[in-house]
Amino acid sequence: MQKIKLHPSGREVECQGGDTVLAALERAGYALPNNCRAGACGECKVKVLSGQFDQGMVLDMALSQEERKQGFGLMCMAKPLSPELVIEWGTEDAKPKLFPPREDQRFVLVDRIARTPGIVELRLRPVGQVMRYWPGQYVTLGDERAGAPMRCYSIANAPRTDGEIVLQITRVDDGKTSIWAHDRITLGDVVKLSGPYGTFIGDPAVDSPVLCMASGSGLAPILALAEAALRRGYRKPVTLMFSARTEADLYDTGLMRYWETKHRNFTYKPSLTREKRDGRLSGRLPDVLPQVFKDLSQHSVFVAGNPDFVAACVSAAKALGARDEMIHTEGYFGQAQPETAPASHLVSP
């Protein structure tokens, strides 16, 4: 049995005979970005600092010859050959290593979907290099020449082979960028994104039940986190609670039903604050949370929405035993706020 050593933390992971590095890391609770799991997309590319490995069959477009000379490998196909393989992954405490952001990346708008009367979904594909990011991160979008200042929007999907980025943007009457995104961008237009930014990604090494709470377009980063976890076979219970005013403000309901059908550990619990419907919770999430959970002391908790919503949900979760180190938040400020917000917050829309 070989060992995989994570640099710079020094943590070690056992790799069973025949396992790829990616499989061994996932079994130990570490989640490298990945998509195709077949050496074709390049998402799981890391630098190998020492040791030998069998790279297997991978495409040059995913791992160039120059990258191979520099020591990089695709961990979805790599199998250790030496007793120890040291890879550059994570930080000193083994948390995910963030990808360096890039400015003015060109994307084409390939589709737009009205999710609710006030939320539009933009689907954008890269013209050049695919953006590497962690689920839960965000990008900036805007066009200063069109009078639309750069604003921050969470990515609403886990990484994909084609590099498609999904953004969900709430319309605000005096929000120049949101109006531009809703009314002026048309299919086929080229826009520029910068990123990725943010640290709303948690610790993939934590293996615990998960509770996600969101309101409005705060659902976007939660969708990306949930999709990534379910795609990689996360086994612990995952509950997504979504707050909406009325039934018309609920969206992605079909996707939620699909996830519940395919993944028995996933549960979707929407709550309506301004109307009552059979089969729906009624009231603000902080108020209905005790109806759903009695003890959150072992849960990882993710909360995204406006600052007041986030603060109230965190307070309610703590009252049920949630621990500070396992609570992750993303607050959305309005456009009246300063344009340079902290990395853990979003200026939207």
Encoding tokens for residue 36? 């195709």
What distance in Å separates the CA atoms of residue 35 and residue 42, rounded to the nearest whole number? Answer: 8
What are the CA-CA distances from residue 317 to residues 118, 202, 290, 326, 330 (Å)?
29, 16, 9, 11, 15
Q: How many CA atoms lie within 13 A of 270 on its CB side?
A: 25
To which H or E segment does residue 23 belong? helix 21-27
Average pLDDT, stretch 110-118? 95
Residue type, 27: R
Q: Where are the alpha helices (DSSP H) in 38-142?
A: 65-69
- The pLDDT tens digits for 67-81 are 999 999 999 999 999
Q: Give the pLDDT confidence score for residue 338 in this predicted structure.
A: 33
Give me the chain's average pLDDT, please: 90
DSSP per residue over 224-292, as a string?
A: HHHHHHHHTT--S-EEEEEEESSGGG---HHHHHHHHHH-TTEEEEEEESS---TTSEES-HHHHHHHH
Q: Give the pLDDT confidence score for residue 275 in this predicted structure.
A: 93
Encoding tokens for residue 299? 């849960």
- The pLDDT tens digits for 325-343 are 899 998 765 543 333 333 3
Report field, pTM of the whole predicted structure over 0.85? no
Q: For residue 8, say if its preceding peptide bond is cis, omega within 30 degrees of 0.
A: yes
